[in-house]
Chains A and B, each alone.
Chain A
């Protein structure tokens, strides 16, 4: 059991004494082993939604269930892949990948073969003893993926994981993800800025509105992807298909229409500063 359910979720932030509704009335579910992508303008609450499934943030009203159980906090059953990679700079690649296993009590002898396997799977052989800053962005994100996969979580939560990568690396990583999910399908909630990426990867694509964040429309593309065998084709061929282009155009239209009033606000997505307030509360948790 590893489905994700958001039940009538609302989330209001207090910013300088003012209440800002970030998410309103979200009903959404990701079935077991389903890949759901969320697209939407900056500031529509995508990250907030994913953080709630991770247990890093909590709804003002409504509830989040993973595997039928309410989420109370973060845990190794739900791996999170962050846009800024969030690797530990002082640990080698090997120790980064093994960190979750170490924390969950897997002995060194048992960790070693698992770490080696994921080094290989992610094409990181020979880099096990390097430190994160010695690797390229694409490789760092592969380490972050390996670190999550090593725990073999049933649920993967990915917040614009390829957003910081160049176009070429991004496509490689997308194909990698498709390949990995064929080997071991997982429940995935995937957030992206890129409509192409969403349509290429997901079984369903959720388009969101902002101010406050709501679900605008959900498009089911699992049928098409299966019947046309997208998963077995290279990215560029899928992107050439008429069905693919039809879908992405539809989503683009949706987003444009929904964004009419809200556009031009210049909201920066994932501003680096947003880790600052979170950090204060994080370090002050055990009162």
Chain B
């Protein structure tokens, strides 16, 4: 009780633990009770054991850590590119109407194309090189990066821009010192969404175009009918996704600290 009042977040910990326990229990029971054949749904224990083995012995050429690392490098490159282009472009579109008018129609159309739809071109243009997956992650992460930077810029308080102008600020000062910091919480929220979509799209891409990475591991596992390997890959994807999200959520909290209640 004392612990719970000191750390309000801990108050809900028992519920989270209970939820996870029930989920695992149902998952174990389904194959054990013979409701689902264990070849189709491996038990959590089997998945855990396989996961551990995958960290020790190479499968599909590498250990699971190496697969994760190569996935993560692809992710970081594609996502970094999406952020590096999407955020500045979104901010500038928020400020310059002509740019908004020039880019918006094309962007609004392209963003409805699912990232995976770029796959044929990813293969055609890049073969099995790193360019293909990067293209797909990029197309997944880019829209959220751009849209949120744009919205953040458009919501900049008019009186702050006016104050800056009366203090002698030129457009470049206003964009970098007023619009950008004011849009920062929105920008980081966009990065978080973009990272999530990007990470999901990456695995989709890896199922097809590459010869390393968690997606590739899963395809190889499927080929060997090793369902517990496929599921170990899924667990790894989920865990890394959560870690990416937690990191960006911390950044989001950091940048919201100036917002007054």
Which residues does chain B contribute within 8 Å of A148, judged by CB atoms? 167
Is residue A223 within 8 Å, beta carbon to beta carbon, of the partner chain?
A: no
Q: Is the CB of B97 within 8 A of A286?
A: yes
Which residues does chain A contribute within 8 Å of B173, judged by CB atoms? 102-103
Contact of B168 among A88, A103, A284 (CB under 8 A): A103
Is residue B108 within 8 Å, beta carbon to beta carbon, of the partner chain?
A: no
Q: How far is the CA of A133 from the CA of B257 in the complex (A)?
A: 10
Q: Is the CB of B159 within 8 A of A90?
A: no
Name the residue on A nearest B162 (C-beta): A56
The answer to whether A75 and B156 touch (CB under 8 A), given A86-B162, A283-B161, is: no
Q: How far is the CA of A35 from the CA of B142 in the complex (A)?
A: 54
Contact of B162 among A91, A133, A278 (CB under 8 A): A278
Q: Is the CB of A103 within 8 A of B164?
A: yes
Q: How far is the CA of A104 from the CA of B168 in the complex (A)?
A: 6
Which residues does chain B contribute within 8 Å of A287, judged by CB atoms? 96-98
Chain B binding site: helix, strand, loop or mixed by DSSP?
helix
Q: Is the CB of B153 within 8 A of A89?
A: no
A: number of interface residues (CB 8 Å): 37
Q: Is the CB of A147 within 8 A of B158?
A: no
Is residue B53 within 8 Å, beta carbon to beta carbon, of the partner chain?
A: no
Q: How far is the CB of A191 from chain B (nearest CB, A)?
A: 15
0/1 string, A83-103, CB within 8 A of B gives 1: 010101111000000011011
Is residue A54 within 8 Å, beta carbon to beta carbon, of the partner chain?
A: yes
Most A-side CB within 10 Å, residue of B98, B161, B168, B170: B168
Stretch of B11-19, B70-78, B120-128, B175-183 with 4 or more beta carbons under 8 angstroms from chain A: B175-183
Q: How far is the CA of A89 from the CA of B166 in the complex (A)?
A: 17
Q: How far is the CA of A78 from the CA of B163 in the complex (A)?
A: 11
Is residue A76 within 8 Å, beta carbon to beta carbon, of the partner chain?
A: yes
Is residue A231 within 8 Å, beta carbon to beta carbon, of the partner chain?
A: no
Q: How far is the CA of A275 from the CA of B160 in the complex (A)?
A: 10
Q: How far is the CA of A230 from the CA of B177 in the complex (A)?
A: 42
| CB-contacts of A87-130 with B (<8 A) | 88-91, 99-100, 102-104
Contact residues on B (Cβ < 8 Å of other chain), bracket: 20 to 34
Is residue B258 within 8 Å, beta carbon to beta carbon, of the partner chain?
A: yes
What are 13 pairs between A and B in contact, CB < 8 Å?
A73-B165, A74-B162, A76-B166, A80-B162, A82-B163, A88-B181, A90-B181, A133-B260, A151-B167, A275-B158, A279-B157, A286-B96, A287-B96
Q: Is the CB of B166 within 8 A of A74?
A: yes
Q: How far is the CA of A229 from the CA of B137 in the complex (A)?
A: 73
Which residues does chain B contribute within 8 Å of A133, judged by CB atoms? 258, 260
Is residue B143 within 8 Å, beta carbon to beta carbon, of the partner chain?
A: no
The answer to whether A90 and B258 touch (CB under 8 A), given A75-B166, A79-B166, A151-B168, is: yes
Q: How far is the CB of A141 from chain B (nearest CB, A)?
A: 13
The answer to whether A147 and B167 touch (CB under 8 A), given A90-B181, A103-B173, A283-B154, is: yes
Q: Is the CB of A275 within 8 A of B165?
A: no
Which residues does chain A contribute within 8 Å of B238, judged by CB atoms? none
Contact of A86 among B160, B169, B171, B181 (CB under 8 A): B160
Name the residue on B nearest A56 (C-beta): B162
Which residues does chain A contribute within 8 Å of B132, judged by CB atoms? none
